[in-house]
Amino acid sequence: VVTWTDLTQQPEDPIFKLLNECIADSDPSKINLSIGAYRDETGKPWVLPVVQKAKQILLSDPASNHEYFGLDGNRSFTEASARLILGQDSAAMKDKRVTHIQAVSGTGAVRLGADFLAKFRPGTVYITNPTWGNHPKIFAASHLKVVEYNYWDGKTRTIAYDTLLDNLNTAPVGSIFVLHACAHNPTGLDPTHDQWKQIASIMKERQLFPFFDCAYQGFASGDLDRDAWAVRYFVEQGFELLVAQSFSKNFGLYSERTGCLTGVFADKETTVKAHSQFCALVRCSISNAPGFGAKIVDIVLKDAALTKEWKENLKTMANRITLMREKLFEHLKKMETPGIWTHITSQIGMFSYTGLTLAQVAAIKSKFHVYMTDEGRVSMAGLNESNVKQFAEAVDWVVR
């Protein structure tokens, strides 16, 4: 007899639950700082002007169609994607030690990489504490053992660098380490170049496998090369590694599910085999990747003028977020809000990890209709000239 005894109600995903709560809130002064999606200075979603142009080009192309790409997706897009992260003149690409496959955005790329590792290079997966809420879920879904490594020092509001190194030194040899390529989610804190070098050196010695998650290239600093520095350094140091790339934030293509999984291997033979296994995993999960977003990114990256314009659009987003960090900091300083707030301006990328407690987050939500995650993460893109002061006042009120 078939029964549904094990079918229990799954609790709502916390971030989407929070977003829905915010949408349902009818208070006109509400501030949505929940989900990591860019908003312009009027609080509206922003279709990048360069994406608008690429859409027109795609629509007016008589050769454009809706055929299947094949298992590895839009190859022109994945090649451009790999070059974007590894560098236009990547030596590893010249040596044919790099393979790339289209994935269903960053999430799909992480999952594909996790399935690949589970099958061909199993090991404990170390994820940062804290991290993007989906990391533990994805790796567990791929049946990998997930353990956290230290990343955040709540007292100093900086990277818990010493304990991070301890964790690298004591993890079982051969473990997998998920590294945020830039703009760590949720803390907005990245290791310095010297710190990355030290991390790489320990990882090499202990044969730890780097799996980079890159969801914010260009969005973090406004500079694509600067945000790719860590990945390129690891490749130069001779690591085999995976990189999951998302084009949700840097192209504003959130719902178009545009991503790529890039693998760098020691030799050509391994690379060819890995590619065949990536394809096999795609075949039984999504079979063929979605077309629209990949075509848009490809149109932009193929064209020098459009690429230049994209870089300007990236700067517009990165600069507006930096400005909001400065404004928020200024307001807190002016009110002499108790506590250290310098991390607001030293953190980079989409998020600020305020250090507010669960109780403070809840209090701000009920009194001021401000929505941020329970761990005190603020999506800086939700702030603008009209609400940043109001948010600063809410923070000031709750910490006094």
Q: Which of 102, 105, 347, 354 binds ligand PLP (CB under 6 A)?
A: 105
Which tokens go with 366?
């009920």
Q: Which of 18, 215, 321, 388 binds ligand PLP (CB under 6 A)?
A: 215
132 binds ligand PLP (CB under 6 A): yes
Part in contact with ligand PLP (CB under 6 A); list of ranges 101-109, 193-201, 272-280, 329-337: 101-109
Closest CA to 210 of 190, 187, 238: 238
Measure the CA–CA gap between 128 and 149, rounded to whole angstroms.
5
Measure the CA–CA gap between 31 and 47, rounded to whole angstroms.
21
Q: Which of 72, 115, 190, 213 binds ligand PLP (CB under 6 A)?
A: 213
Neighbour tally for 333: CB within 10 Å: 13
Contact 75, 262 (CB under 8 A): no
Part in contact with ligand PLP (CB under 6 A); list of ranges 104-112, 267-275, 310-318, 337-345: 104-112
Closest CA to 317 of 40, 42, 49, 53: 40
Q: How far is the CB of 393 from ligand PLP (least distance, A)?
A: 28
Q: Which of 72, 213, 227, 298 is catalytic?
A: 213
- φ/ψ of 145, rounded to 5, equals -75, 130
| Residue (105 or 271) nearer to ligand PLP, CB | 105
106 binds ligand PLP (CB under 6 A): yes
Annotation says 153 is catalytic? no
Measure the CA–CA gap between 158 and 156, rounded to whole angstroms.
5
Annotation says 249 is catalytic? yes
Beta strands in the chain (DSSP E): 31-32, 98-104, 125-129, 146-150, 152-153, 158-159, 176-180, 209-214, 241-246, 258-264, 351-353, 370-371, 377-379
Which tokens go with 289?
């990747």
| Residue (360 or 373) nearer to ligand PLP, CB | 373
| Residue (103 or 356) nearer to ligand PLP, CB | 103
Which tokens go with 196?
């990355």
Q: Which of 249, 295, 327, 365 is catalytic?
A: 249
Measure the CA–CA gap between 21 and 358, rounded to whole angstroms.
17
What mask of x and - would describe binding to ligand PLP in positions 22 to 51, judged by CB under 6 A?
Answer: --------------x---------------
List the interface residues with ligand PLP, window 340-369 (CB under 6 A). Answer: none
Q: How far is the CB of 340 from ligand PLP (least distance, A)?
A: 25
| Residue (107 or 167) nearer to ligand PLP, CB | 107
Cα atoms in the Cβ-side hemisphere of radius 13 Å centred on 294? 28
290 binds ligand PLP (CB under 6 A): no
246 binds ligand PLP (CB under 6 A): yes
| Residue (213 or 375) nearer to ligand PLP, CB | 213
Instruction: Report DSSP letters for 255-309, one per residue.
Output: GG-EEEEEEE-SSHHHHHHHHHHHHHHHHTTTSS--SHHHHHHHHHHH-HHHHHH
Q: Which of 53, 72, 115, 132 is catalytic?
A: 132
Residues contacting ligand PLP: total by CB under 6 A: 13
Residues annotated as part of the active site: 132, 213, 249
Q: Which residues of the shown chain bind ligand PLP in the complex (CB under 6 A)?
A: 36, 105-107, 132, 180, 185, 213, 215, 246, 248, 254, 259
